[in-house]
Chain A
Amino acid sequence: MSWFKRMKKGITTQNQEKKEIPEGLWYQCPECKHVMTSDQHAENDWLCEKCDYHEKITSLNYFSILFDENQFSEVAAHLISGDPLEFTDTKAYKDRIKTTINKSGLKDALRVGFGNIEGEKAVVACMDFGFIGGSMGSVVGEKFARGVDKAIEENCPFICISKSGGARMMEAGFSLMQMAKTSAKLTQLADHQLPYVSFLTDPTTGGVTASFAMLGDINIAEPKALIGFAGPRVVKETIGKDLPEGFQSSEFVLEHGFLDYIVNRKELKQKLALSLKQMKAKS
């Protein structure tokens, strides 16, 4: 795993002024500028040790935090995007997919794992922002669907970790209908009385917010994540005014009644396991 963690930090280091620091060895918190080694950072669940800033992390990082001994099997790992509309903008969608797969090492913007959380079976679906902004196309919808099927088959809870800019425009109508599809699958999960926890991380917006991310039996979030339907730029343009501080943050969304609780990544596993236990239907 340490190999992977270092790779990730190496890729995302974008700050030009940091050139004097060897890439991959050090992490500087973008919030408080505190510097720590990448290993320390990873051991601290990718939180800043000083200010608790929650760095954006990958699906594999979340799985390593949640699944017991980091043991899990992937569900529908082989699915990749087609190009149903032969879409071309400044680049052909087909090529965009190919390049992104090669660059990111990901197959699409959702990974589904099945394993144990504190000894109890669970299916966890987790989005990867590194794949075209975590956008939802047909593959995300289908993997989500198969994740739900797996949870029903194993009679266990389903957890989805959202991190997405919204719908994938290059799949247009197909992308829109993934909102319907994922919601439809959640009705099936509900029919089996299995808990669904939606965990929203930075950022969760657009069609993902307007479908499965807001449909949890409980909705929980990481601190200070951006959560909204319309992006802040669009809202700002609509109202023609500056947005109030903290607008669309987890804390704001909690205050307005759309989240059940905010959880620090360090306490995520324990608290999630407890919530799942509390909701487990009496047989």
Chain B
Amino acid sequence: MRNYLDFEAPIKELNEQIQKLKDSAVKTGVNVENAVQELEKALIAKTEDLYKNMDPWQRVQLSRHPDRPYALEYIEAMTEGTWIELHGDRTVKDDKAMIGGFGLLNGESVMFIGQQKGANTKMRQYRNFGMANPEGYRKALRLMRLAEKFNKPIVTLIDTPGAFPGLEAEERGQGEAIARNLFEMMRLKVPVICIIIGEGASGGALGIGIGDRVLMMENTWYSVISPESCSSILWRSWDYKVTAASALKLTAEDMKWNGLIDGIIREPLGGAHANHEQAISILKDVIQSTIADLRKNSNDELVKQRIEKFCAMGKYVEA
């Protein structure tokens, strides 16, 4: 059973009609092929239309769509059974919200790191809703250094509602863990690609988000705060999340326009959740071509350009 968001209602309706027709054909033996084709055409047109005119808040909802593929699904599918998950930060524990390990991408070894959300209630709790603790960021850094040691490219898949704001997270230095990653990722002497595959919330996302190419999938968001929290802080009410989503300029298009990311990855028609297989194959192609592209530079050049890129970010007035 697919899940549908409110604004996906027309898609749901058409899908259900198609299913009904197909079911009745099986029962009655009547040929419904033409009718189904008509409806499928209508479905494509409707989906295109819906996705063309999406507002930022709808994008935010899509980024959290319960049917969206999560990091592990992408990684396992792209590496075709060659991914070995590596665990632990070597200091405190193994953070289940942050995963990492080598996998082969068409024969080449790549370090994949990502935030992992759970698909059902139990798994969501197990994954702490994709909110990493300091040990998650430290595990990520350990694995990135491992990749650097053997000159393997690094790909991070970002999907988090934020770094975990818990008591123990504070005790173990959440701020320091993220800060350390920002500093060290700047200097990693291997190609680093960071991809927002769902939610890119603030420092929790940035903590694995320093790369030579930072890319956003089409239906994701990336900003300093979630629209809900922004609404509650600036408007002192939870009712302005739609307005906040627009104001924050958090969509892939806006972030690209402002020069804060390097590119957008198109999703299949109807979003990644509508066609996992195609979303995975698109992502794999992008990663492979981006690695090939980055490998044209020396690792020292990559570091230099990476630092220069982030240093150039910001808009101010020389009064």
Which A residues form the contact surface with B (CB < 8 A)?
Answer: 78-82, 84-85, 87-90, 107, 137-139, 141-142, 145, 167, 169-181, 183-188, 206-207, 209-215, 228-230, 234-235, 238-239, 243, 247-248, 256-258
Contact = CB atoms under 8 A, between A and B. Distances in A.
Contacts of A80: 316-317, 319
B165 A167 contact: no
B163 interface: yes
A173 B224 contact: yes
B315 A173 contact: no
B316 A180 contact: no
Given A172-B225, A180-B313, 17 more contacts: A79-B317, A85-B247, A169-B224, A172-B223, A173-B249, A173-B250, A174-B313, A180-B186, A184-B182, A184-B186, A207-B203, A210-B182, A230-B169, A230-B174, A235-B166, A238-B165, A258-B173
25 contacts: A79-B317, A107-B319, A138-B313, A141-B314, A142-B316, A167-B225, A169-B233, A171-B224, A173-B223, A173-B249, A173-B258, A176-B224, A178-B313, A179-B206, A180-B186, A180-B310, A183-B179, A187-B183, A187-B187, A211-B179, A215-B179, A239-B166, A247-B167, A256-B172, A256-B173
Interface of B: 163-167, 169-176, 178-180, 182-183, 186-187, 202-203, 206-207, 209-210, 222-225, 230, 233-235, 240, 244, 247-250, 254-255, 258, 260, 306-307, 310-311, 313-319
**Which of A178, A184, A188, A212 has the most CB atoms of chain B within a 10 A radius of its CB?**
A184
A173 B313 CA distance: 10
A82 B319 CA distance: 10
A147 B234 CA distance: 31
A107, A170, A179, A186: residue with the most chain B Cβ atoms closer than 10 Å: A179
Consensus secondary structure, chain A interface: helix
A234 B165 contact: yes
A169 B225 contact: yes
B163 to A, nearest CB: 7
Contacts, number: 189
Interface centre among B169, B174, B186, B203 (most CB of A within 10 A): B203
Contact of A172 (B164, B182, B183, B248): B248
Contact of B173 (A107, A212, A214, A243): A214
A209 B167 contact: no
Nearest to B260: A173
A238 B176 contact: no
Given A207-B203, A229-B165, A214 B317 contact: no
Contacts of A178: 313-314
A169 B223 CA distance: 9
B169 A180 contact: no
Contacts of B223: 172-173, 176
Contact of B179 (A169, A181, A209): A209
Contacts of B260: 173-174, 176-177
B170 A167 contact: no
Contacts of A214: 173, 175-176, 179-180
Contact of B175 (A169, A228, A238): A228
Contact of A90 (B179, B207, B234, B319): B234
Nearest to A91: B234
For A137, A177, A238, A257, the residue with the greatest tally of chain B CB atoms inside 10 Å of its CB is A177
B166 A257 contact: no
A171 B311 CA distance: 16
Given A84-B258, A89-B235, A229 B315 contact: no
Contact of B250 (A172, A180, A247, A248): A172
Contacts of B247: 85, 87-89, 172
Contacts of A88: 247
A178 B223 CA distance: 12
Nearest to B223: A172
Contacts of A213: 175, 179
Contact of A210 (B172, B203, B233): B203
B311 A229 contact: no
A79 B310 CA distance: 19
Contacts of B255: 173
In the A-B complex, list the 9 residue pairs whose CB atoms are closest, starting with the nearest. A230-B165, A209-B175, A138-B314, A183-B182, A229-B175, A84-B315, A89-B234, A229-B174, A176-B224
Contacts of A211: 178-179, 182, 203
B316 A81 contact: yes
